[in-house]
Chain A
Amino acid sequence: GQNIDQPTEMTATEGAIVQINCTYQTSGFNGLFWYQQHAGEAPTFLSYNVLDGLEEKGRFSSFLSRSKGYSYLLLKELQMKDSASYLCAVLDSNYQLIWGAGTKLIIKP
């Protein structure tokens, strides 16, 4: 079966750095997405990785290792507005998005 694992909840301090991990087992791989979702709102796109390595975009970076079935989202200089759920999703061999359950990130002052 297809499976995506990410921690249910994480807590971090304002101004700090946090890494949210995602491991996956899917039928085929055509890329991995990270989305941010604030409570009661729709997800918004953060990043897309299809090749191994680190993609940096401002305070957010995303890393992928296809051989390990592993990705992480790195958030630097955390702000209170970063409190949200972060969803990992993999595009499988049928180009269908398989979603993780999301990681709720709580930022404390």
Chain B
Amino acid sequence: GAVVSQHPSRVICKSGTSVKIECRSLDFQATTMFWYRQFPKQSLMLMATSNEGSKATYEQGVEKDKFLINHASLTLSTLTVTSAHPEDSSFYICSARLAGDSYEQYFGPGTRLTVT
């Protein structure tokens, strides 16, 4: 099946610093990638939809200047949390959708971000 990797799996950073999370589709080309965040015991919250070669579409309430998304190739999307604050601590998950008719999303293993 389609495999999506995410790096790093865990990161601890200090307030005010920036953190970059990578999402890669390993064995398929993903025209669309999604970034979610998930708080404990809550469902996934879509942050943005990223299409290769174009600007990401952010959901209402998500600051695009704070959560920078770059989808430079068909296999790589990055999320950079800029000037991180403790309230940004969360589980960030990316997913990728195969090019074509399938709308199934394949999820990366997630990144646990802790901002101290």
Residue of A nearest to B32 (CB): A95
- When the two chains form their complex, are residues B43 and A87 in contact, meaning their CB atoms are under 8 A apart? yes
What residues of chain B lie closer than 8 Å to A31, measured between beta carbons? Answer: 103
- When the two chains form their complex, are residues B109 and A42 in contact, meaning their CB atoms are under 8 A apart? yes
Interface membership of B87, Cβ < 8 A = no
- Report, nearest first, the 9 A-B pairs whose CB atoms are least far apart: A42-B107, A101-B43, A42-B110, A99-B43, A102-B43, A42-B93, A99-B44, A42-B109, A43-B107
Provide the bound-state CA to CA distance between A20 and B108, in Å: 25
Contact residues, B10-67 vs A (CB, 8 A): 34, 41-44, 46, 49
Contact residues, A20-79 vs B (CB, 8 A): 30-31, 33, 35, 40-45, 48
Contact of A87 among B44, B46, B49, B95 (CB under 8 A): B44
Binding site for A on B (CB under 8 A): 6, 34, 41-44, 46, 49, 91, 93, 95, 103-110, 112
What residues of chain B lie closer than 8 Å to A35, measured between beta carbons? Answer: 107
Residue of B nearest to A45 (CB): B104
Interface membership of A91, Cβ < 8 A = yes
Residue of B nearest to A98 (CB): B46
Q: What's the nearest-Cβ distance from chain B to residue A24, in Å? A: 14
- Interface size of A by CB at 8 A reads 21
Provide the bound-state CA to CA distance between A44 and B110, in Å: 12
Residue of A nearest to B91 (CB): A40
- When the two chains form their complex, are residues A91 and B103 in contact, meaning their CB atoms are under 8 A apart? yes
What residues of chain A lie closer than 8 Å to B43, measured between beta carbons? Answer: 87, 99-102
Residue of A nearest to B107 (CB): A42
- When the two chains form their complex, are residues B110 and A33 in contact, meaning their CB atoms are under 8 A apart? no
Contact of B104 among A33, A42, A96, A104 (CB under 8 A): A33
- When the two chains form their complex, are residues A48 and B104 in contact, meaning their CB atoms are under 8 A apart? yes
Residue of B nearest to A95 (CB): B103
- When the two chains form their complex, are residues B108 and A42 in contact, meaning their CB atoms are under 8 A apart? yes
Q: What are 13 inter-chain pairs, A to B, with CB distance below 8 A?
A: A30-B103, A40-B91, A40-B112, A42-B93, A42-B109, A45-B104, A45-B106, A96-B49, A97-B46, A97-B103, A101-B42, A101-B43, A104-B41
